Amino acid sequence: MINIAIVEDNINEYSLLKNSLDKYACSYNVKFNITYFSSAIEFLNSYKKQFQLVFMDIELPDMNGMEASHKLRDIDKDVVIVFVTNLSNYAINGYEVGALDFVVKPIKYETFAIKLSRLINKINIESPYRIEVYDVDHILRIINLAEVYYLEVSGHYLIFHLENEEFKIRMSLKSFEEKYDLTSFFKPNVYALVNLKYVDKVDGDDIFLGKFVIKISRLRKKDFLEAVSKYLGATM
């Protein structure tokens, strides 16, 4: 699932873009969750790093798309921005805010599909995988799984260990594994799930993840080392 925001004041232009996204989703078996915003101010006021891809019209009321994108970059340096405009020479200034591409109106599906494939490939490779969970204090947490060093079971709870904070949710490890894509994680023992991205070394029965040290089961050590090797090979 890719969360997409469309910031466009013209409802007809929005419909054309959404129809192109829907057509692509059907053709390539991709799932999009699309949210519409009619103004940049509305979009920025509700932004919580919940999107991987933003289609930003440049000509918007109150705040234009270029100004909005500068403000967006102050909040989120990772989200992929694509300008949608009638003015192609204006759109090329998007490098100022790290815009990946631009789409010129009126949208032609064949050209759009090629661009979208490239965008999705970048998102799948580089963008953090964001999830929404409620912690034990009923606070909504929107986190990047890529920033989680490891998860740890404690009774009926899961503890999330990030670099400078930790929190817990009420969920079993099995349920969490079934719900989310955890291809970069591995279980070194029955009580933990480790992000292979942060493995610095394995010394005896200890796994070092930055400032964290986790025990590895002897029965799982061989499989864990193979998983680390495979992960490093895929990311080099």
Distance CA 97, CA 50 (A): 19
User: What's the whole-model pTM score?
Assistant: 0.57
3-class secondary structure, 226: helix
Looking at residue 49, its pLDDT comes to 78
User: pLDDT, tens digit, for every residue of 26-43?
Assistant: 998 888 889 999 999 999
Distance, CA of 88 to CA of 101 (rounded, Å): 11
Which pLDDT band, with edges at 50, 70 and 90, does 164 fall under? confident
More confidently predicted of 132 and 126: 132
Contact 21, 47 (CB under 8 A): no
Looking at residue 94, its pLDDT comes to: 47
- Give 190's DSSP letter: T
By CB atoms closer than 10 A (0-12, 13-18, 19+), residue 39 is: middle
